[in-house]
Amino acid sequence: MTITCVSPIDGSVYVTRQTLNEFEAAQAVAKGKAAQIAWAARPLEERIALVLQAVANIGAMNDEIVPELAWQMGRPIRYGGEFGGFNERALYMAEIAQEALADIKVEDSINFKRLIKRVPHGLVLVVAPWNYPFMTAINTVAPALIAGNSVLLKHASQTPLVGERLAQAFADAGVPEDVFQNVFLDHKTTSALIADRAFGFVNFTGSVAGGKAMEAAAQGTFTGLGLELGGKDPGYVMEDADLDAAVDTLIDGAMFNSGQCCCGIERIYVAQSLFDGFVEKAVKIVEGYKLGDPLDPETTLGPMAQARFADLVRSQTADAVAAGAKALIDPAGFPRDGGAYMMPQILVNVDHSMRVMREESFGPVVGIMPVKNDAEAIRLMNDSDYGLTASLWTQDTNRAEAIGDAIETGTVFMNRADYLDPGLCWTGCKDTGRGGGLSVIGYHNLTRPKSFHLKKA
């Protein structure tokens, strides 16, 4: 089977790669498992140094990576790629590794030594998405390797060069090639490997349907799964909010990367007293965007990764307008709209009967609703199948924390949005998935506890 990356820039075939057959895939698994034993035996400091060298190697490639990303998934080159966040996350996980992986000492007396160690799972499969292909991959790859696991990376077919770049960076750093392997696998082979207990842990970032397929494959194997799936993240602007800051951040969170962000803002609820001003400012910001060729430094919105993704957003928007919503952005300002090139849109007069307020859009559209009070905002924010992040805008930290306690979500932001803090657990609930990455908890998920009860006499 061949994996094909069709560039959203012009519809041309940009990359093709052959997938491994079942025998080749089994060989990769065997190599990874065999290499892991010696890798885990290396001193922690050595593993950290090699991983950080690989991260630096990616930084040295950034000038080549940025246009590659534009060709593969459409992000404008003006944003300079992902190395800042990629580096931040890896560095943080390296800094906390010693403490996060330290033995838990219960007793060391004349009679007993009792402790709990954190030991690697063995071989970890990382299935990474295309929307932030470097940052999402490093979330698991760096701590998995630092913790002593070996890794098989299966990257999205839309961004196949990312896996190859990472493999080159780790190999050049001195990480054994069997310890970190980039593989091209079809869905059938991936599921068969999981069902055959090939992996000690599987981390998947992608669609809800993909997460269900992972769970189905792992059924009965007791393989650990980390799943980050869909999202429909809300923002709530309270009457005491800094209006300009709220508009700037939430609209950027809705539209950046053409809306293709795991924790992008997809619905906004605004206190009635601020609603008109918020909408007016939001429209002005969006009208200033330039949709076009992502290789043009003036472009602020590139194409979505695939035309079918844009068509879904168009369908949701059209259905909402047919049901009474009002679209505020004039298509005349975005002549490039069509195919994978999706113009941004702001909708008002929306409600939760509309698909655009309930289904994941993953594109540059956002619905904005006025709310009377906190209770109504909480009810609406929780009226979703998803729960990744929520963004609260107020000057009152206690109020934000109390509302955050009532929201069904993985992360609560106050006066910011669309940011992954490596010191905090990246997690979700409901159809967004389960498990947690980064932070100390990320290390806990990539290792298992092993107890030692040693009687000395």
Whole-number Cα distances in Å, 112 to 201, 371, 452: 33, 62, 10
| 3-class SS string, 333-359 | HCCCCECCECCCEEEECCCCCCHHHCC
262 is catalytic: yes
- Angle at Cα 122 formed by Cα 411 and Cα 60, nearest 5°? 65
Q: Which two tokens stand for residue 342?
A: 């999706």
Q: Which of 262, 263, 266, 359 is catalytic?
A: 262
Residues 6+ apart with CB under 8 A from 323: 353, 354
Pairing label, strands 436-437, 426-427: antiparallel
Q: Which of 82, 228, 359, 360 is catalytic?
A: 228
Q: What are phi and psi of 288, to 5 degrees?
A: -85, -5
Whole-number Cα distances in Å, 359 to 320, 383, 449: 12, 11, 38
228 is catalytic: yes
Helices (H), 109-207: 133-146, 160-173, 187-195
Q: How far apart are CA 167 and CA 164, in angstroms?
A: 5
**Known catalytic residues?**
228, 262
